[in-house]
């Protein structure tokens, strides 16, 4: 399904702001659609690469980078550091940049699924606080972890060029999800992945409290806790661990998370020096794609309990193509509740206006109950800021309308 977006927005009111705290943050990058492909000799070997932080030992650093302590987060911080050093000679001197590791709520609580912990900013709150308090100068985040509203006194002026947005399938016994035997368990902490897996392969089971860093999840797979898992290909590429990949899922088979594969870097809103450094690293195409995706997410008011996927990219003609999805956590949610709201209103109105009742509302509700598990939409329009914000918001409004009352009341 493809819907053309309106040509141009005529107002910036309520739209994404690149530099304002308390506004929808910006960032992302489009990739070409790539077909599902298998990577050779990957099913029987799992490697566990580790990247360690090399924190400069100096009393005074010109720039302090705040980051989580996982190998992937450190890889992203190192990528940021290296780009800053190559672009600014004063930052290339020994000790000029320091990496500061900060533990977040999401890192501390590993015994529960993310959806059960609740709240937004599980992997960013403590880093943002350190930024606001002046303990660090910039914060490096995986953009998919960043809430749609930034904390006051902070801005997010930079996205590095986006990595591959697709999800990787990893298994020691099958080459794809379709080849897993019925009853096989797939480990993933992502409700987005869970809902799409069960929607297409209802015979499979999902272990949703499958948490930990990439190395931990690969170890659990090797130990037989699950028969397969899905991981972001971007993370595996940044860790140089793609030899673990069994196959890569196409965008059509597994729509990625909003801003998946994009790195976002924030600083204090009054720090012009840091803002200037970050502006020099910004990848505009990525930033615009993430703007579109996050406008979609903000309209749906998504949380860790809502499976939402969104992806914007530039096609061969230079247009923006956006695809969005919202689903029930198990991929099979009944819409009886939504129909019940509608039918009760309709039947009561019909009775009061016509003073007759032709049939039992309970009978109608049970007869008309249908099962809607995944709702999808798409848009096409100019690869321009205003248009892309409009496309994201319009796509979100469409899915809210299709879902009806009760769909998000899990």
Please list the active-site residues. Answer: 145
Identify the sign of the CA torsion 280, 32, 218, 38.
negative
Q: Is 321 helix (H, G, I), strand (E, B) or coil?
A: strand
Q: By the 8 A CB rule, do 265 and 251 touch? A: no
Looking up tokens 């860093």 gives 213
Distance between CA 392 and CA 26 in Å, rounded?
A: 12
Distance between CA 112 and CA 211 in Å, rounded?
A: 8
Distance between CA 58 and CA 86 in Å, rounded?
A: 20
Which residues neighbour 298 within 8 Å (Cβ) at sequence distance 6 or greater?
A: 24, 148, 149, 393, 396
Cite the DSSP H helix spans in 246-360: 272-279, 284-300, 336-354
Distance between CA 389 and CA 324 in Å, rounded?
A: 13
Q: Is 8 helix (H, G, I), strand (E, B) or coil?
A: coil
Looking up tokens 């690469």 gives 49
Q: Judging by DSSP bridges, how do beta strands 63-67 and 138-142 pair with one another?
A: parallel
Distance between CA 240 and CA 284 in Å, rounded?
A: 25
Distance between CA 82 and CA 50 in Å, rounded?
A: 18
97-101 sheet: strands from edge to edge: 97-101, 63-67, 138-142, 263-268, 154-159
Looking up tokens 């790539």 gives 34
| Residue 382: other Cβ atoms inside 10 A | 16
Tokens of 290: 């993430």
In eight-state DSSP terms, residue 112 is S
């Amino acid at each position: 399904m493809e819907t053309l977006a309106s040509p141009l927005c005529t107002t910036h009111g309520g739209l994404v702001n690149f530099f304002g705290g308390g506004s929808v943050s910006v960032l992302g990058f489009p990739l070409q659609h790539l077909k599902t492909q298998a990577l050779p000799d990957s099913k029987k070997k799992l490697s566990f690469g580790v990247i360690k932080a090399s924190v400069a030992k100096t009393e005074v650093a010109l720039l302090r980078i705040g980051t989580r302590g996982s190998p992937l987060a450190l890889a992203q911080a190192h990528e940021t550091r290296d780009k800053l050093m190559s672009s600014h000679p004063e930052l290339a001197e020994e000790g000029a940049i320091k990496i500061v590791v900060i533990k977040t709520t999401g890192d501390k609580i590993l015994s529960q699924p993310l959806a059960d912990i609740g709240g937004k900013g599980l992997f960013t709150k403590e880093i943002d606080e350190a930024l606001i308090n002046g303990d660090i100068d910039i914060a490096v985040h995986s953009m998919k972890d960043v809430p749609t509203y930034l904390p006051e006194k902070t801005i997010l002026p930079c996205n590095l060029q986006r990595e591959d947005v697709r999800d990787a399938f990893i298994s020691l016994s099958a080459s794809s999800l379709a080849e897993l035997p019925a009853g096989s368990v797939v480990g993933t902490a992502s409700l987005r992945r869970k809902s799409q897996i069960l929607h297409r392969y209802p015979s499979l089971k999902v272990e949703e409290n499958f948490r930990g860093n990439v190395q931990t999840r690969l170890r659990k797979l090797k130990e037989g806790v699950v028969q397969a898992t899905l991981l972001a290909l971007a993370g595996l590429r940044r860790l140089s661990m793609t030899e673990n990949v069994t196959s890569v899922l196409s965008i059509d088979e597994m729509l990625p998370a909003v801003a998946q594969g994009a790195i976002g870097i924030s600083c204090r809103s009054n720090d012009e020096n840091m803002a200037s450094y970050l502006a020099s690293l910004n990848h505009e195409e990525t930033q615009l794609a993430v703007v579109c995706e996050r406008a979609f997410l903000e309209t749906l008011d998504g949380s860790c309990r809502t499976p939402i996927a969104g992806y914007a990219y530039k096609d061969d003609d230079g247009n923006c193509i956006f695809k969005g999805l919202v689903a029930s956590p198990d991929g099979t949610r009944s819409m009886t509740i939504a129909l019940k709201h509608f039918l009760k209103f309709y039947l009561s109105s019909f009775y009061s206006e016509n003073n007759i009742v032709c049939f039992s509302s309970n009978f109608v509700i049970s007869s008309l109950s249908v099962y809607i598990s995944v709702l999808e939409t798409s848009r096409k329009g100019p690869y321009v800021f205003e248009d892309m914000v409009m496309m994201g918001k319009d796509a979100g409004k469409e899915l809210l309308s299709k879902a009806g009352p009760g769909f998000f009341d899990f």
